[in-house]
Amino acid sequence: MSIFIDKDTKLVVQGITGRDGSFHTRHMIEYGTQVVAGVTPGKGGQLFDDEVPIFNTVKDAVSATGANTSVIYVPARFAAEAILEAADAGLSLIVAISEGIPVLDMTRALPFVRDAGARLVGPNCPGVISPGKSKAGIIPGQICQEGPIGVVSRSGTLTYEVIHQLSKSGLGQSSCIGIGGDPIIGTDFIDCLSAFEADPETTAIVLIGEIGGTAEQEAAEYVSHSVTKPVVGFIAGQTAPPGRRMGHAGAIISGSSGTAAEKMQALETAGIGVMRRPADVVSLLREQL
243 CB neighbour count, 10 Å cutoff: 9
247 CB neighbour count, 10 Å cutoff: 11
- Pairwise CA distance, residues 145 & 175, whole Å: 10
Spatial CB neighbours of 53, under 8 Å, sequence gap ≥ 6: 36, 37, 38, 46, 47, 61, 64, 65
- Pairwise CA distance, residues 54 & 41, whole Å: 9
Q: Is 27 an active-site residue?
A: no
Of the candidates 45, 80, 87, the residue with the CA atom closest to the CA atom of residue 62: 87
Q: Which amino acid is at 112?
A: F
Q: In what order do the strands lie in the sheet with 173-178?
A: 134-137, 127-130, 173-178, 146-153, 204-210, 231-236, 273-274
The catalytic residue among 24, 27, 225, 248 is: 248
Active site residues: 248
